[in-house]
A and B are shown apart, each in its own frame.
Chain A
Amino acid sequence: MEFSVGEDLFSVLVVTGLVIVFVAALTHSYHVYAERRNASEDFDLALDIAKRLRDQILVGQNDQIGLLELSHERLEDYSRILALQGINLRVEVRTLEGESLFVRGPDLNPFEHYFSPPVGVGLPAAVQNQGLAVLCELSVQVWRG
Protein backbone atom coordinates (compact mmCIF):
# COMPACT_ATOMS: atom_id res chain seq x y z
CA MET A 1 0.00 0.00 0.00
CA GLU A 2 1.43 3.35 -0.87
CA PHE A 3 0.29 6.86 -0.05
CA SER A 4 1.02 9.81 -2.23
CA VAL A 5 1.05 12.78 0.17
CA GLY A 6 -1.35 15.55 -0.80
CA GLU A 7 -3.82 13.36 -2.70
CA ASP A 8 -4.56 10.05 -0.98
CA LEU A 9 -3.89 11.50 2.47
CA PHE A 10 -6.32 14.32 1.72
CA SER A 11 -9.01 11.86 0.66
CA VAL A 12 -8.42 9.79 3.83
CA LEU A 13 -8.78 12.93 5.96
CA VAL A 14 -11.97 13.90 4.17
CA VAL A 15 -13.64 10.52 4.57
CA THR A 16 -12.48 10.16 8.18
CA GLY A 17 -14.00 13.57 8.93
CA LEU A 18 -17.23 12.58 7.24
CA VAL A 19 -17.40 9.31 9.14
CA ILE A 20 -16.87 11.10 12.47
CA VAL A 21 -19.56 13.68 11.69
CA PHE A 22 -22.10 11.07 10.67
CA VAL A 23 -21.37 8.73 13.54
CA ALA A 24 -21.79 11.68 15.92
CA ALA A 25 -25.12 12.53 14.26
CA LEU A 26 -26.27 8.91 14.54
CA THR A 27 -25.31 8.75 18.21
CA HIS A 28 -27.13 12.01 18.88
CA SER A 29 -30.26 10.76 17.12
CA TYR A 30 -30.24 7.60 19.14
CA HIS A 31 -29.76 9.63 22.32
CA VAL A 32 -32.79 11.82 21.48
CA TYR A 33 -34.83 8.70 20.65
CA ALA A 34 -33.89 7.02 23.95
CA GLU A 35 -34.57 10.21 25.91
CA ARG A 36 -38.07 10.52 24.44
CA ARG A 37 -38.80 6.89 25.22
CA ASN A 38 -37.56 7.27 28.80
CA ALA A 39 -39.51 10.49 29.32
CA SER A 40 -42.67 8.76 28.13
CA GLU A 41 -42.07 5.74 30.39
CA ASP A 42 -41.36 8.02 33.36
CA PHE A 43 -44.51 10.04 32.66
CA ASP A 44 -46.53 6.81 32.60
CA LEU A 45 -44.88 5.81 35.87
CA ALA A 46 -45.68 9.20 37.44
CA LEU A 47 -49.32 8.81 36.37
CA ASP A 48 -49.48 5.29 37.87
CA ILE A 49 -47.95 6.50 41.12
CA ALA A 50 -50.28 9.52 41.35
CA LYS A 51 -53.29 7.25 40.75
CA ARG A 52 -52.11 4.75 43.36
CA LEU A 53 -51.55 7.54 45.89
CA ARG A 54 -55.06 8.87 45.23
CA ASP A 55 -56.85 5.50 45.29
CA GLN A 56 -54.85 3.44 47.78
CA ILE A 57 -51.91 4.92 49.67
CA LEU A 58 -53.41 8.22 50.85
CA VAL A 59 -57.06 7.19 50.93
CA GLY A 60 -58.82 8.18 54.18
CA GLN A 61 -59.63 5.78 56.99
CA ASN A 62 -63.27 5.46 55.94
CA ASP A 63 -62.05 4.33 52.48
CA GLN A 64 -63.71 7.26 50.76
CA ILE A 65 -61.91 7.41 47.44
CA GLY A 66 -61.04 10.92 46.40
CA LEU A 67 -60.67 12.32 49.91
CA LEU A 68 -56.99 12.14 50.78
CA GLU A 69 -55.59 11.78 54.25
CA LEU A 70 -51.98 12.96 54.40
CA SER A 71 -49.79 10.40 56.13
CA HIS A 72 -45.99 10.60 56.25
CA GLU A 73 -45.74 6.98 57.45
CA ARG A 74 -47.72 5.45 54.58
CA LEU A 75 -45.88 7.58 52.06
CA GLU A 76 -42.55 6.67 53.61
CA ASP A 77 -43.33 2.94 53.26
CA TYR A 78 -44.41 3.39 49.65
CA SER A 79 -41.32 5.45 48.82
CA ARG A 80 -39.14 2.71 50.27
CA ILE A 81 -40.74 0.13 47.96
CA LEU A 82 -40.17 2.43 44.97
CA ALA A 83 -36.57 3.12 46.04
CA LEU A 84 -35.86 -0.62 45.88
CA GLN A 85 -36.72 -0.41 42.17
CA GLY A 86 -34.47 2.63 41.71
CA ILE A 87 -37.36 5.09 41.56
CA ASN A 88 -37.22 8.33 43.53
CA LEU A 89 -40.38 10.15 44.53
CA ARG A 90 -41.30 13.63 45.70
CA VAL A 91 -44.88 14.37 46.67
CA GLU A 92 -46.22 17.82 47.40
CA VAL A 93 -49.76 18.90 48.24
CA ARG A 94 -50.55 22.57 47.64
CA THR A 95 -53.76 24.50 48.08
CA LEU A 96 -55.12 26.30 45.04
CA GLU A 97 -53.71 29.50 46.57
CA GLY A 98 -50.24 27.93 46.39
CA GLU A 99 -49.78 27.24 50.10
CA SER A 100 -47.83 24.03 50.68
CA LEU A 101 -49.67 21.65 53.03
CA PHE A 102 -47.46 18.61 52.76
CA VAL A 103 -44.09 17.73 51.27
CA ARG A 104 -42.28 14.42 51.20
CA GLY A 105 -39.06 13.88 49.28
CA PRO A 106 -35.88 15.81 48.60
CA ASP A 107 -35.81 19.31 47.13
CA LEU A 108 -35.00 19.14 43.45
CA ASN A 109 -31.97 20.89 42.12
CA PRO A 110 -32.37 21.37 38.34
CA PHE A 111 -28.61 21.08 37.69
CA GLU A 112 -28.26 17.88 39.72
CA HIS A 113 -30.79 16.10 37.49
CA TYR A 114 -29.68 17.63 34.23
CA PHE A 115 -29.27 14.29 32.42
CA SER A 116 -32.33 12.51 33.87
CA PRO A 117 -34.78 15.29 34.72
CA PRO A 118 -37.72 14.46 36.99
CA VAL A 119 -41.12 13.97 35.38
CA GLY A 120 -44.11 15.47 37.16
CA VAL A 121 -47.88 15.09 37.24
CA GLY A 122 -50.38 17.35 39.00
CA LEU A 123 -53.93 16.26 39.85
CA PRO A 124 -56.74 18.03 41.67
CA ALA A 125 -57.54 16.36 44.98
CA ALA A 126 -59.68 16.97 48.03
CA VAL A 127 -57.55 16.67 51.14
CA GLN A 128 -58.70 16.15 54.72
CA ASN A 129 -57.16 19.02 56.70
CA GLN A 130 -58.25 19.97 60.23
CA GLY A 131 -61.67 18.40 59.72
CA LEU A 132 -62.30 20.11 56.40
CA ALA A 133 -62.02 18.83 52.82
CA VAL A 134 -59.66 21.30 51.21
CA LEU A 135 -59.26 21.39 47.44
CA CYS A 136 -55.58 21.01 46.58
CA GLU A 137 -53.21 19.98 43.85
CA LEU A 138 -51.43 16.68 44.36
CA SER A 139 -48.06 17.06 42.68
CA VAL A 140 -45.98 13.92 42.05
CA GLN A 141 -42.42 14.01 40.72
CA VAL A 142 -40.54 10.90 39.73
CA TRP A 143 -36.98 10.32 38.65
CA ARG A 144 -34.63 7.38 38.42
CA GLY A 145 -31.36 7.26 40.27
Chain B
Amino acid sequence: MTDARFPYGRKGHVPPVMGAPALEARAVCVAYPGASRPALDGVSLCVPVGAHVALVGPNGSGKSTLLKAAANLLPLRSGELRVYGNPPGACHHRVAYLPQRSRIDWRFPITVRGLVTTGRYVHLGWLRRPGPRDDDAVADVLDLLGLSALAERQIGQLSGGQQQRALLARALAQEADLLLLDEPLNAVDAETRAIVADVLAKLRRQGKTVVVATHDLGRLESDFDGALYLTAGREMPPPPGAFVGVPVGQHRA
Protein backbone atom coordinates (compact mmCIF):
# COMPACT_ATOMS: atom_id res chain seq x y z
CA MET B 1 0.00 0.00 0.00
CA THR B 2 2.99 2.28 0.37
CA ASP B 3 4.50 3.03 -3.00
CA ALA B 4 7.14 5.65 -2.25
CA ARG B 5 9.94 5.34 -4.74
CA PHE B 6 12.39 7.11 -2.41
CA PRO B 7 11.02 6.47 1.10
CA TYR B 8 12.03 8.60 4.10
CA GLY B 9 14.37 6.92 6.55
CA ARG B 10 17.06 4.38 5.85
CA LYS B 11 15.15 1.37 7.13
CA GLY B 12 12.41 1.81 4.58
CA HIS B 13 9.21 -0.11 5.03
CA VAL B 14 9.65 -3.55 6.55
CA PRO B 15 6.67 -5.93 6.19
CA PRO B 16 5.03 -7.15 9.44
CA VAL B 17 6.04 -10.51 10.90
CA MET B 18 3.20 -13.02 10.38
CA GLY B 19 1.21 -13.66 13.54
CA ALA B 20 3.07 -11.06 15.62
CA PRO B 21 1.06 -8.79 17.94
CA ALA B 22 0.64 -5.15 16.89
CA LEU B 23 2.64 -3.96 19.88
CA GLU B 24 4.66 -6.01 22.31
CA ALA B 25 6.80 -4.76 25.21
CA ARG B 26 9.01 -7.01 27.34
CA ALA B 27 10.47 -5.58 30.56
CA VAL B 28 10.93 -2.19 28.93
CA CYS B 29 13.02 0.42 30.77
CA VAL B 30 13.31 3.98 29.49
CA ALA B 31 15.16 6.80 31.23
CA TYR B 32 15.34 10.47 30.26
CA PRO B 33 18.86 11.94 30.39
CA GLY B 34 19.53 13.48 33.80
CA ALA B 35 16.44 12.00 35.48
CA SER B 36 16.96 10.33 38.86
CA ARG B 37 14.62 7.39 38.23
CA PRO B 38 13.58 5.71 34.96
CA ALA B 39 10.33 6.88 33.39
CA LEU B 40 9.46 3.26 32.57
CA ASP B 41 10.76 0.49 34.79
CA GLY B 42 10.22 -3.05 33.53
CA VAL B 43 6.85 -2.68 31.84
CA SER B 44 5.47 -5.52 29.71
CA LEU B 45 2.50 -5.31 27.40
CA CYS B 46 0.93 -7.27 24.54
CA VAL B 47 -1.58 -5.63 22.23
CA PRO B 48 -3.02 -8.14 19.71
CA VAL B 49 -3.86 -6.97 16.20
CA GLY B 50 -7.25 -5.25 16.19
CA ALA B 51 -7.43 -4.68 19.97
CA HIS B 52 -8.20 -1.36 21.64
CA VAL B 53 -6.11 -0.94 24.79
CA ALA B 54 -6.00 1.90 27.34
CA LEU B 55 -2.93 2.95 29.29
CA VAL B 56 -4.30 4.38 32.53
CA GLY B 57 -2.44 6.34 35.18
CA PRO B 58 -1.71 9.76 36.66
CA ASN B 59 0.74 12.27 35.17
CA GLY B 60 4.30 10.97 35.31
CA SER B 61 3.19 7.33 35.37
CA GLY B 62 4.95 6.55 32.08
CA LYS B 63 1.96 6.35 29.70
CA SER B 64 3.33 8.95 27.32
CA THR B 65 6.83 7.50 27.56
CA LEU B 66 5.59 4.08 26.47
CA LEU B 67 3.81 5.59 23.45
CA LYS B 68 6.87 7.67 22.51
CA ALA B 69 9.11 4.62 22.72
CA ALA B 70 6.69 2.70 20.47
CA ALA B 71 6.77 5.63 18.00
CA ASN B 72 10.59 5.37 17.98
CA LEU B 73 11.08 8.77 19.58
CA LEU B 74 12.95 7.46 22.64
CA PRO B 75 15.67 4.82 22.91
CA LEU B 76 15.20 1.92 25.36
CA ARG B 77 17.65 1.47 28.23
CA SER B 78 16.81 -2.23 28.44
CA GLY B 79 14.06 -4.65 27.51
CA GLU B 80 12.51 -5.24 24.14
CA LEU B 81 9.85 -3.45 22.13
CA ARG B 82 8.31 -4.88 18.95
CA VAL B 83 5.85 -3.31 16.53
CA TYR B 84 4.33 -5.96 14.27
CA GLY B 85 7.31 -8.12 15.23
CA ASN B 86 9.88 -5.51 14.11
CA PRO B 87 11.89 -2.93 16.06
CA PRO B 88 10.14 0.47 16.43
CA GLY B 89 10.68 2.67 13.39
CA ALA B 90 11.00 -0.21 10.91
CA CYS B 91 7.59 0.56 9.44
CA HIS B 92 6.80 4.25 9.88
CA HIS B 93 3.76 4.17 7.65
CA ARG B 94 1.99 1.51 9.77
CA VAL B 95 2.16 3.51 13.00
CA ALA B 96 0.46 6.85 13.66
CA TYR B 97 1.19 8.80 16.83
CA LEU B 98 -0.81 11.68 18.28
CA PRO B 99 1.30 13.51 20.88
CA GLN B 100 -0.25 15.03 23.99
CA ARG B 101 1.45 18.36 23.41
CA SER B 102 2.53 18.89 19.84
CA ARG B 103 5.45 21.08 18.90
CA ILE B 104 3.56 22.47 15.93
CA ASP B 105 4.26 25.99 14.72
CA TRP B 106 0.61 27.06 14.53
CA ARG B 107 1.58 30.36 12.85
CA PHE B 108 3.13 28.63 9.83
CA PRO B 109 1.27 29.46 6.59
CA ILE B 110 -0.41 26.12 5.96
CA THR B 111 -4.12 25.34 5.70
CA VAL B 112 -5.95 22.68 7.69
CA ARG B 113 -6.16 20.65 4.47
CA GLY B 114 -2.41 21.11 3.97
CA LEU B 115 -1.65 19.95 7.51
CA VAL B 116 -3.81 16.85 7.15
CA THR B 117 -2.17 16.14 3.79
CA THR B 118 1.22 15.91 5.54
CA GLY B 119 -0.16 12.64 6.94
CA ARG B 120 0.17 11.24 3.40
CA TYR B 121 3.84 12.21 3.01
CA VAL B 122 5.14 8.97 4.55
CA HIS B 123 3.54 7.13 1.62
CA LEU B 124 4.95 9.55 -0.95
CA GLY B 125 8.58 9.87 0.15
CA TRP B 126 10.99 12.21 -1.59
CA LEU B 127 10.05 13.98 -4.83
CA ARG B 128 6.49 12.62 -5.22
CA ARG B 129 3.59 15.02 -4.93
CA PRO B 130 0.18 14.19 -3.44
CA GLY B 131 -2.14 12.78 -6.12
CA PRO B 132 -5.93 12.33 -6.47
CA ARG B 133 -5.93 9.30 -4.15
CA ASP B 134 -4.23 11.34 -1.43
CA ASP B 135 -6.66 14.22 -1.96
CA ASP B 136 -9.60 11.81 -1.60
CA ALA B 137 -8.22 10.27 1.58
CA VAL B 138 -7.71 13.75 3.06
CA ALA B 139 -11.21 14.90 2.07
CA ASP B 140 -12.69 11.78 3.72
CA VAL B 141 -10.99 12.29 7.09
CA LEU B 142 -11.75 16.04 7.07
CA ASP B 143 -15.39 15.09 6.65
CA LEU B 144 -15.22 12.41 9.34
CA LEU B 145 -13.78 14.87 11.86
CA GLY B 146 -16.17 17.70 10.99
CA LEU B 147 -13.43 19.91 9.56
CA SER B 148 -14.58 20.20 5.92
CA ALA B 149 -15.93 23.72 6.39
CA LEU B 150 -12.63 24.81 7.99
CA ALA B 151 -10.34 23.09 5.47
CA GLU B 152 -9.02 26.26 3.81
CA ARG B 153 -8.31 28.11 7.07
CA GLN B 154 -4.79 28.74 8.26
CA ILE B 155 -4.16 26.30 11.14
CA GLY B 156 -3.69 29.06 13.74
CA GLN B 157 -7.29 30.16 13.22
CA LEU B 158 -8.72 26.98 14.79
CA SER B 159 -9.90 26.54 18.38
CA GLY B 160 -8.06 24.14 20.67
CA GLY B 161 -10.53 21.32 20.08
CA GLN B 162 -10.44 21.87 16.32
CA GLN B 163 -6.64 21.79 16.35
CA GLN B 164 -6.74 18.50 18.23
CA ARG B 165 -9.19 17.14 15.61
CA ALA B 166 -6.91 18.34 12.80
CA LEU B 167 -4.03 16.38 14.33
CA LEU B 168 -6.23 13.29 14.71
CA ALA B 169 -7.29 13.78 11.08
CA ARG B 170 -3.64 13.76 10.01
CA ALA B 171 -3.03 10.56 11.99
CA LEU B 172 -6.05 8.97 10.23
CA ALA B 173 -4.98 10.27 6.80
CA GLN B 174 -1.82 8.25 7.26
CA GLU B 175 -4.07 5.13 7.10
CA ALA B 176 -1.92 3.46 9.74
CA ASP B 177 -2.78 0.07 11.26
CA LEU B 178 -1.64 0.95 14.78
CA LEU B 179 -2.69 4.28 16.29
CA LEU B 180 -0.96 5.58 19.42
CA LEU B 181 -3.09 8.36 20.90
CA ASP B 182 -1.77 10.32 23.89
CA GLU B 183 -4.63 11.89 25.89
CA PRO B 184 -6.78 12.62 22.82
CA LEU B 185 -9.59 13.90 25.05
CA ASN B 186 -7.53 16.16 27.28
CA ALA B 187 -8.97 19.69 27.51
CA VAL B 188 -11.24 19.48 24.46
CA ASP B 189 -14.84 20.58 23.94
CA ALA B 190 -17.91 18.30 24.00
CA GLU B 191 -18.21 18.30 20.19
CA THR B 192 -14.63 17.04 19.85
CA ARG B 193 -15.22 14.36 22.51
CA ALA B 194 -18.26 13.04 20.64
CA ILE B 195 -16.40 13.03 17.31
CA VAL B 196 -13.37 11.24 18.81
CA ALA B 197 -15.69 8.55 20.26
CA ASP B 198 -17.23 8.06 16.78
CA VAL B 199 -13.76 7.81 15.26
CA LEU B 200 -12.70 5.15 17.77
CA ALA B 201 -15.84 3.14 16.97
CA LYS B 202 -15.12 3.41 13.25
CA LEU B 203 -11.50 2.32 13.75
CA ARG B 204 -12.81 -0.73 15.61
CA ARG B 205 -15.07 -1.64 12.70
CA GLN B 206 -12.06 -1.31 10.38
CA GLY B 207 -10.06 -3.68 12.55
CA LYS B 208 -7.39 -1.09 13.41
CA THR B 209 -5.32 -1.44 16.57
CA VAL B 210 -5.52 1.49 19.00
CA VAL B 211 -3.52 2.28 22.15
CA VAL B 212 -4.78 5.29 24.09
CA ALA B 213 -3.11 6.94 27.08
CA THR B 214 -5.85 8.37 29.27
CA HIS B 215 -6.94 9.27 32.76
CA ASP B 216 -10.59 9.29 31.71
CA LEU B 217 -11.74 6.06 33.32
CA GLY B 218 -15.43 6.70 32.74
CA ARG B 219 -16.03 4.97 29.40
CA LEU B 220 -13.36 2.28 29.38
CA GLU B 221 -15.69 -0.71 29.25
CA SER B 222 -17.49 0.42 26.13
CA ASP B 223 -14.43 1.72 24.25
CA PHE B 224 -11.65 -0.71 25.10
CA ASP B 225 -10.82 -4.41 25.20
CA GLY B 226 -8.15 -4.18 27.87
CA ALA B 227 -6.29 -1.76 30.14
CA LEU B 228 -2.81 -1.41 31.61
CA TYR B 229 -2.58 0.52 34.88
CA LEU B 230 0.67 2.41 35.42
CA THR B 231 2.07 4.32 38.39
CA ALA B 232 5.57 5.79 38.61
CA GLY B 233 6.77 3.82 35.62
CA ARG B 234 5.58 0.39 36.83
CA GLU B 235 2.53 -1.71 36.15
CA MET B 236 0.03 -1.73 39.03
CA PRO B 237 -2.76 -4.20 39.73
CA PRO B 238 -6.10 -2.72 38.64
CA PRO B 239 -7.79 -0.66 41.38
CA PRO B 240 -10.69 -2.54 43.04
CA GLY B 241 -13.74 -2.54 40.82
CA ALA B 242 -11.84 -1.01 37.88
CA PHE B 243 -12.21 -2.17 34.29
CA VAL B 244 -9.87 -5.06 33.39
CA GLY B 245 -11.14 -6.68 30.20
CA VAL B 246 -8.68 -8.87 28.37
CA PRO B 247 -5.41 -9.05 30.35
CA VAL B 248 -2.69 -7.21 28.43
CA GLY B 249 0.04 -6.63 31.02
CA GLN B 250 2.58 -8.73 32.90
CA HIS B 251 0.11 -10.95 34.71
CA ARG B 252 -1.73 -12.12 31.62
CA ALA B 253 -2.41 -15.79 31.28
Same complex for A and B? Answer no
